[in-house]
Amino acid sequence: MDHRPAPRRLSFGAVAILHAIASGNAFGFDIMDATGLTSGTVYPALDRLEEQGLLRSKWEDPRVARREGRPPRRYFTLTGTGVAALGDALERHKSLRPVDLPGRRRPSEA
Amino acid sequence: MSRDRPSVPSSALWVALAFVTLAAPLVPRAQRARWRLQWRGDLWHQATAAPGGPRTPDMLTRALGVFPHAAALRTRTWRNPMLLHDLRYALRTLARRPGFTAVAVLTLALGVGANTTVFSWIEAIAFDPVPAVEGDDRLVALQFAQGSRDNLSFSYPNYVDVRDARLPEFTGVAAYDLVALNLRIGGEPERVWGQIVTANLFEVLGVRAALGRTLQPEDDRAPGASPVLVISDALWRGRFATDPSIVGRSLAVNGHAFTVVGVAPRGFIGPMNGLAADAWLPMMMQSTVVPGDRLNARGSGWLQAFGRLAPGATTRQAQAAVDVVAARLARDHPSLHEDRRLVLAPMWSDGAGGVFLPVLGVVMGVVAVVLLIACANVAGLLLARAGGRQREIAVRLAIGASRAQLVRQLLTESAVLAAASGAAGLLLTIWTSRLLTAVLPPLPFPVRLEGTVNPRVLLFALGATLVTALVFGLVPALAASRPSLAPSLKETAGAAGGGRGRAWLRKGLVVAQVALSLVLLVGAGLFLRTLQHASRIDPGFDAREGFFARLDLQAGRYDGESGPAFYRELLERVEGVNGVARATLGTFVPLTLGGGSDTSVRIEGYERAEGEPMTIFYAMVAPGYFETLGIPIARGRGLEPRDAGDAPLAVVINETMAKRYWKDGDAVGRRIDYGSGWATVAGIAKDGKYNAINEPPVNYLYLPLYQVFRPDVALMVRTTGDPGVVFPSVQQAVRAINPDLAMFDVMTIEEHLRASVLIPRLAAWLLGLFGTLALALAALGLYGVIAYVASQRTQEIGIRMALGADRSAILRLILRQGLGLAGLGVAVGLALAVLVTPIVASQLVGVGAADMATLTAALVVLLLAALVATWVPARRAASMDPLRALRYE
């Protein structure tokens, strides 16, 4: 598998997915629940992020799965690169200063 | 694979897993196994983790993600960029014409969904005849056959002979009978369907108890020695709240104490296809539960028998083995068995399947035709669209695309359409497969038939979808990829219509649709006429206001003396109720679904011909039977109160029987032996219908209930007003003499007669539904073609108008073309209908397969639909502005 260098900027979707994984959502459907993205977006994105070296996937111990009578699950964790990339992205997003939106209070005043 | 399955797979999970299987070929081979495992794991998690189970739409929308995911993986290691290109191009083309795409997908989804639904019903009967039993494909029903009659039941001694032959072709042979039981759980008596079974039944089926034990051979050691029963999981849950201490508890069954020894596994309903039992009692308890000692009477058939084929044994070997047993029975008991054969039959033939499968077979043929029409329709749509894409195709050919590439492109579009339709059709099936029981009227049997979406049904849907894609995709793809280059590139309106070949094809498709839908309309019409006829047939009794209810005196409580006394008091009380005109009792209500019993007879002075069966249907009836139901007595008298106790045995026969066995037809005073010694014919009753509304005249025998006591009878009441108003008072009167006496299967005479035409009603309903669908599709197809043809002729119409043709001439021009096509379709359809309808002739009543009225009606309906479908585009063509039409390109 070729490890392409991580792109300088991550898409919002990718950030959301990395963020969801960093918050402890390790499985495909949990990530969908956390991000609100569809399965058609999340699964290809997971593959891509893994290829870019931002994610690492592991298979659950098949013995555990077999004992519970179900197939094993694949779960995802961030790599060091992934943590760094997510940190950068969050930093960048933080630089978006709060703005006044018509009909909404600023989050800080909430 | 099998350990990956959930313990209780939901239909939604099955469908989701099917999506995975469908999309898997898209994934590069190297990644496929991992990919599949990942999706399975996650879908599984979704199915099991959601509180209260997953919601089907959620599950399915999420599962749809397998397709983009698989496509994304494929694109990264793409070796054949053309195929991906084709796919993208197809998706884009379809998305650009959402109206066309929606109509095509919906049309095909209806076709695929209808086929899959009906298949799921047939599958439930034929492929899973005995639910919750492993290896039920190795089970075979054993039946006696004589002359033209088959499915004759076993007597217990017959069963023992087969069992003790220890045929090596069978690992075991068991027998059972469905009985209504009166179960006392707490206060009220409750009616439950049970089965009296040979104690090896569970062993032969290979069913183990979920709790406690099943019946075992020890339970069949001696008559009356083992009052035990096994109850169903459904009863245990429904009535005992899964009480774990149920084993060992004593229940009153028909007034006798029985001990529960076990609970059957979930989903087990007994060996009878589609008819659910809730309790199983050992054979040796027969006389405690149902009247009479049936264990020694070789002549009285009442059991359904079946066996499990030994590993490696074929049905042919098994048939040869039972032939030997039948020959031995014929030798040992010539009077009963001389001409009886023993035959193997599928397990479903002994249950509900035997009744429903023939109808469902017809319906399957019908939905297949609907799918064909849907295919022809969509093929027509694709052809029309290909006409519009002529220039695009010509350009692609001109810059070097090969014909194969174009065909592949067009086929990819068809495949995408088919895949979407297959998925939509499957969704439809999830909801409709459970509808079979919903369309049945109340029946006096515990019918439990339900289709489920299982792997076999999925495979069928997949196959149907593939065939569909080929049928509707290939023809237009081939036709469209062969344009004449030069005119297409020049984009002249006339040529863009496509070659002659394609126009011919589209018209052919419309003719086919019209023809096929005419066949379906004729079929629907025939069954409607059958229904109409059947409800007009004279059932032989003229009582119409009143009701029937079954009673069960609980075997053993009454005997030949106290029973009739009780009946007399009962009828006296009931007839005393305000609103009751007359009341009687009988073991059989005419036209009860499932048929009646028969008995062997000897007739004084009649020489039985070699091989002539002497079995005659009978009912045991109380005095007042003929008066209550309104059956005229042609000669002699009916049964009267004096035909009781030790009085000389008297019987009443029907006219058919009198004519059959006595030359002059005057049987009064002659004698018959039906197994209880010689009885004298007291009277001859008018013929009626007994087992089915469409049966030919049959011999019938009425025996006096007060002389031959039976505790399982039906109370028949004729009222002077609304039976619903009278019933509660009758119930009160019955309770007053015996509070334990349950009345069940209460039906007004009207309801009873309606239930007797169940099969034609079901057929008319389903055929009517699908016939209407087909008609709508065909009309849509015709409309499409005519609208298209009219638009192709715009310029020509402009010229005609400019040269002086008026609007009505244009209208006629287009109408003639449309109706010409419809007329051709009708002609082909009529020929087809005449060829095809004899298939259902045996299920029709009072109407021939080639019924002129039905053919004419179908023809008129179809031509009217065709007229409407043509009128709309014809009007549009005729109201064109000639100047604009001339300029039209």
Chunk chain B into consecutive blocks of 10 residues (it has 889) and report each block's average pLDDT, rounded to whole numbers: 44 83 83 87 78 68 83 68 76 84 88 91 88 89 81 89 94 91 76 91 94 92 92 92 91 88 94 92 89 77 91 93 93 83 90 82 88 88 76 80 78 86 90 76 72 85 85 75 58 46 79 90 87 83 89 68 89 93 92 75 84 84 94 93 89 93 88 88 93 85 88 90 89 82 79 80 81 85 81 82 86 89 92 87 79 90 90 86 74
The rounded distance, in Å, linking the Cα atoms of B661 and B603 is 8
Q: Of B4, B66, B73, which has the smallest distance from its Cβ to A47's Cβ? A: B73
Give the rounded distance of the alpha carbon of B831 from its chain centre: 28
The rounded distance, in Å, linking the Cα atoms of B205 and B212 is 17
CB-based burial label for B103 (10 Å; 0-12, 13-18, 19+): middle
Q: Of B4, B46, B62, which has the smallest distance from its Cβ to A71's Cβ? A: B4
Q: Of B44, B63, B65, which has the smallest distance from its Cβ to A70's Cβ? A: B44
Best mutation target, B69, B76, B78, B91, to test chain A (most A CBs within 10 A): B69
Q: Of B7, B34, B65, which has the smallest distance from its Cβ to A43's Cβ? A: B65
B6/A43 CB distance under 8 A: no
B72/A72 CB distance under 8 A: no
Closest residue in B to A43 (Cα) is: B69
Is B856 in contact with B797 (CB distance < 8 Å)?
Answer: no
| A5 domain-assigned | no
What count of CB pairs under 8 Å joins A to B?
A: 68
**What are the phi and psi torsion angles at B179 (to 5°)?**
-135, 150
Is B270 in contact with B133 (CB distance < 8 Å)?
Answer: no
What pLDDT was estimated at residue B823? 92
Mean pLDDT score, A65-70: 80
How many Cβ atoms sit within 10 Å of the Cβ of residue A67?
Answer: 9
The rounded distance, in Å, linking the Cα atoms of B1 and A70 is 10
Residue with tokens 């509707």: B472
Is B837 in contact with B526 (CB distance < 8 Å)?
Answer: yes
Q: What is the CATH number of the domain that holds A81?
A: 1.10.10.10
Tokens read off for B293: 């000692």
CB-based burial label for B4 (10 Å; 0-12, 13-18, 19+): middle
| A81 domain-assigned | yes
| A39 domain-assigned | yes
What's the domain count of chain A?
A: 1
CB-based burial label for B869 (10 Å; 0-12, 13-18, 19+): buried
| A71 domain-assigned | yes
- Identify which has the larger pLDDT, B568 or A7: B568
Q: 3-state secondary structure string, B734-769?
A: HHHHCCCCCEEEEEEHHHHHHHCCHHHHHHHHHHHH
Chain B nearest C-alpha distance from A25 (Å): 13
Task: Give which of B868, B781, B773, B789 is closest to B825, Cα–Cα.
Answer: B781
Give the count of alpha carbons within 13 A of B401, CB side only. 20
| A101 domain-assigned | no
| One-letter identity of residue B173 | V
The rounded distance, in Å, linking the Cα atoms of B68 and B64 is 8
Best mutation target, B42, B58, B59, B66, to test chain A (most A CBs within 10 A): B42
B72/A39 CB distance under 8 A: no
| A110 domain-assigned | no
Give the rounded distance of the alpha carbon of B551 from its chain centre: 30
Chain B residues whose C-beta is within 8 A of a chain A C-beta are 3-4, 6-7, 34, 37-38, 40-42, 44-46, 48, 61-69, 72-73
| One-letter identity of residue B154 | F
The rounded distance, in Å, linking the Cα atoms of A50 and A3 is 9
The rounded distance, in Å, linking the Cα atoms of B182 and B829 is 55
| A47 domain-assigned | yes
Residues of A with Cβ-Cβ distance to B4 under 8 angstroms = 70-71
The rounded distance, in Å, linking the Cα atoms of A29 and A31 is 5
Q: Which domain holds residue A44?
A: 12-94
Task: Give which of B497, B506, B469, B488 is closest to B90, Cα–Cα.
Answer: B469
Chain A residues whose C-beta is within 8 A of a chain B C-beta are 27-29, 32, 38-44, 47, 59-60, 65-66, 69-74
How many Cβ atoms sit within 10 Å of the Cβ of residue B403?
Answer: 11
| A103 domain-assigned | no
B787: Cβ contacts below 8 Å, ≥ 6 apart:
B872, B873, B876
The rounded distance, in Å, linking the Cα atoms of B874 and B816 is 10
Closest residue in B to A57 (Cα) is: B38
The rounded distance, in Å, linking the Cα atoms of B764 and B769 is 8
A29/B45 CB distance under 8 A: yes
- Identify which has the larger pLDDT, A90 or B279: B279
Percentage of chain A exceeding pLDDT 70: 79
